[in-house]
Amino acid sequence: MNQENTGDAKKPESFMIGKSKAWRDLTFNEVVRGSTPGFFAMGGKRDPKQKLKLPGVDWSSKGIDREVAKRVLYNAHLNYIDPLYSEIEPLWGLILVRTFLRVPETQGKIWKPIPVTSMDMINVQTMQRQSVVKQVIESPFKFMTKCVVVSVPPTMEGAKERFKVGDVYAYKPLRTIAPQGGNEFVLTYDYFFAHPDSQLVDPSTRPESRHYGYLMMPTQFLTAKINEIPEESLKLEYKQWDEEVDKIFSKDEKAF
């Protein structure tokens, strides 16, 4: 995989945020959960001689596993807008976005588990010995209520002035639902969208999937603009980042 050369060996803070703030000045929460869209989304760069670094993230911390790493890296690469999706034209009143993921917070070198909320709990029904059994399971979709705009409806008056690709918005919480009954239910969520060429009729649960995390929602479902990805950091290209996970973990931990 091609490594990016920072071009400035004199500066230890080779991970610059935009043109002013160095990565070491940002906390983990600021980058992945807080006000910034993500490390790469704000112009962060990689030291070619070291493993991937993110502000405030110690990959040796207790509690980090491959699934946590994938969620962190997914968030950090949301400045890459896939042309497969950005070239889609939503119909009037709809907007295509890609959601951020919730990740654990850190306390020293300990990663705290993601709190389970009421939106994470799903009521399902299964059959056991010809009887209906109701169960409550936890949703695999750990979505934040924050997203990046991927495509704006071209025919909606004022939409392109109000929204633009790379804007970061808050949105109303989503429900995870199990539309099929019986023992073989399929989990999905409100406003799920995948490109038809993906042949997905049910949402992927893998953050490394090219088709993960997209929502085609009404524009009124967005509640507030948080910020935007700087123009110089916005990349209209598909970025396959899952190889970065293998840089963090040893080869004997490759099995998902």
Write out pLDDT tens, residues 85-106: 999 999 999 999 999 999 877 7
pLDDT at 234: 94
More confident of the two residues 144 and 37: 144
| Dist CA 33 CA 71 (whole Å) | 11
pLDDT at 87: 95
Q: How many residues does the chain have?
A: 256
Token pair belonging to 232: 């110089």
Number of separate helices (H) and strands (E) present in the chain? 5, 13
Phi, psi dihedral angles at 144 (to 5 degrees)? -80, 170
| Dist CA 151 CA 95 (whole Å) | 6
Q: Is the pLDDT of residue 55 over 60?
A: no
SS3 117: coil
Neighbour tally for 66: CB within 10 Å: 15
Q: Residue 115, by phi and psi: left (phi above 0), alpha (psi -120 to 50) or beta? A: beta
Residue 6 lies in a domain: no
SS3 97: strand
SS3 203: coil
Residue 10 lies in a domain: no
| Dist CA 4 CA 1 (whole Å) | 10
Residue 166 lies in a domain: yes
Mean pLDDT of 113-125: 77
| Dist CA 233 CA 182 (whole Å) | 47
Q: Is the pLDDT of residue 31 over 70?
A: no
**What total of structural domains would you count in the chain?**
1
Residue 11 lies in a domain: no
Residue 159 lies in a domain: yes
- List the domain range (segments joined by +) for residue 142: 16-239+247-251
pLDDT digits (tens, 9 = 90+) for 233-255: 999 999 988 888 877 775 444 43
Residue 2 lies in a domain: no
pLDDT at 135: 74
In the block, which residue shows the tokens 């399902």? 124
Q: Is the pLDDT of residue 48 over 50?
A: no
Residue 7 lies in a domain: no
Residue 35 lies in a domain: yes
| Dist CA 152 CA 138 (whole Å) | 32
